Amino acid sequence: MASHLIDSCIFCKIIKGEIPCFKVVETDLSYAFLDISPLAEGHTLIIPKYHSERLDEVPDQYLVDILPLAKKIALSTGHANYNLLQNNGKKAFQHVPHFHLHLIPKPNLEDGMIFREEDVARKVERPKDELAKTLEKMKEALSKL
């Protein structure tokens, strides 16, 4: 397993036990620990035991392990409301370059992720022809994968 981890990554160091954490659960392929700056009680980071920066770089066997683990962690928080967040790249606000999911409980309106009215109002409906072009472009790319 260690052959897929790198020495310069803080999350890889956590997996290897070189940096302490509040480990929630571990499988052969995944590792979950509490965020040290949580947005809510139970805010957990879930990572593959494989170093890759973005979702599209993670081998499928690790992804198959991570989502059921996220489901169990969500249930363990005791909150029916939660966000599952994943950022890819600096422009998308990814701060640690190791693929990870944030499971963030939403126990009330003040804790957890907060979306402001202006963020929601910023959404603009796109013309149908623009959506059709986007769809065709994506379908063509998908057919080559």
Q: Provide the annotated active-site residues.
A: 100
Q: How far is CA 100 from CA 23, 58, 59, 67, 125, in A?
A: 14, 10, 13, 11, 30
Question: Rounded to 5 degrees, what are φ and ψ at 70?
Answer: -60, -40
CB neighbours of 145 closer than 8 A, spacing ≥ 6? none
